Amino acid sequence: MQLHFYRTFVVVSSLLLVGNTQAFSLGSQQGISNYNINTPIQHLGTAQFRTNSPIQLNANEEKLAKTFGGYTVKQRLREEVESPFRKVRFALFGVSTGSASLALYFSATNVLKAYMGGFSDAIPMEEALSSCGINLTAVLVCGYLTYTDYKKGEANLARIKRGGALAKLQLKLPDANLAQALGLKTLSDFRRGYRVMICAGGKERIEDVCRSLCADQLKDENTLAEKIQEVDTLVVPVLLIKDPSGSGKTIVGDTRSCWMGTNALEGDQNFDPERADAALGFPQGNVQWEEYLSGDVETASGQGFDVLNKGITLIVKKNGKILRRVTGMPKWSELIGTMDVMDGSKFGMPGDSEKYGGP
């Protein structure tokens, strides 16, 4: 009888939790119609009370920028928007785990009573063991679901944080690059209009990229820079070097100087390191670039790849998400010919309707 009572308690508590928990929303249904659908998330806190005061907006932005648990409020809000029922599931699984643990405690007590004997309310050993096994299974299943949902949330937060770090990376554009006149400085500024190809590696790899873009091979005229521009791609070489202080870390060096100091090899005709400037951008703020690329460098190194000698290539889509991470330097002909398909531009990428047709 006691066991049935606790099972009923578990069911009722779970139903009450579901009934009283609401999914994350940006506002009430009555008030949400008054908001502009394009209102930036950093302004949602002041959307209901319109104000032109920069002090209030700055205070709201400071609140969103506060960090707790390694992530900002803004990042946690975005994770909730992407997975609005995660907290509901986490709370439900957590309560279920606690309820199953409580039931397991009393089931184990009944097993002990049946084993020792002498208790008037003791149930048969077979029934006690059966109930104990059921409750133990419930604890393991609910605990596993709670843990996995928590880990998925943490992984999603890490992805959002990494995406934000990628968007903040700054570039120094050559004068020949038309994006400079538009005032584009960070990778987030290039969203929708450009893809970004990050080619990171040691000095020899950066020089290889430079020669491949800036020199004619034999009698063939090198038109790679023009073709890269045609597929709306910006190439960002990043020089990786060993930390001179002897820490063993891989840091970002002076990429621009390495690029301009590249010399032509036998077979390189009409070499000019500024020849591909219209399709180039150089990293600015080496510390931020080093922090972002450290994860990719560690992953590649852990898989046995020599990052400095072979290099790594990251391709960022127009929507700001990573399309691909590969070791080695880019194979230009393959990438240029398939970039639009891989990125999805021919299948509804915003802003490409004029080029490919469609709505």
Residue-wise pLDDT tens digits, 285-311: 999 999 999 888 888 888 888 889 999
CA dihedral 218, 224, 225, 228 (to 10 degrees): 180
Confidence (pLDDT) at 40 = 37
39: left (phi over 0), alpha (psi -120 to 50) or beta: beta
Kindly list the distances between the CA atom of residue 237 and the CA atoms of 69, 80, 190, 212, 215, in Å, as whole numbers in the listed order: 34, 35, 16, 12, 16
Confidence (pLDDT) at 218 = 62
Q: Which CATH number fits domain 171-356: 1.10.1040.10, 3.40.50.2300, 3.40.50.10490, 3.40.30.10?
A: 3.40.30.10
Please tell me whether residue 326 adopts helix, strand or coil conformation.
strand
User: Using CA atoms, how far apart are residues 230 and 336, in angstroms rounded to an integer?
Assistant: 9
Among positive and negative, which fits the CA dihedral 11, 17, 19, 22?
A: negative
Q: Per-residue pLDDT averaged across 261-278, rounded?
A: 89
Kindly list the distances between the CA atom of residue 154 and the CA atoms of 83, 209, 339, in Å, as whole numbers in the listed order: 12, 37, 31
Q: Are 182 and 191 in contact (CB under 8 A)?
A: no
User: Using CA atoms, how far apart are residues 338 and 341, in angstroms rounded to an integer?
Assistant: 5
Tally of residues, the chain: 359
Gyration radius of the chain's alpha carbons: 29
DSSP β-ladder status, 233-242 and 195-201: parallel
Mean pLDDT rounded to a whole number for the chain: 76
Residue-wise pLDDT tens digits, 155-200: 888 878 888 888 889 999 998 888 888 888 899 898 888 889 999 9
- Pick the more confident residue, 339 or 254: 254
Of 35-44, 73-82, 153-162, 310-319, where does mean pLDDT reach its minimum? 35-44
Question: Percent of the chain scored above 70 by pLDDT?
Answer: 75
Kindly list the distances between the CA atom of residue 238 and the CA atoms of 88, 127, 291, 292, in Å, as whole numbers in the listed order: 43, 68, 13, 12
**Where do the structural domains in the chain lie, given as residue ranges?**
2-19+85-166, 24-82, 171-356
> What type of residue sits at position 208?
D
Confidence (pLDDT) at 205 = 92
- pTM for this predicted structure: 0.64
- Pick the more confident residue, 344 or 156: 156
For the chain, strand residue ranges (E) read 67-68, 71-72, 170-172, 195-201, 216-217, 233-242, 250-252, 268-269, 282-284, 312-316, 322-327
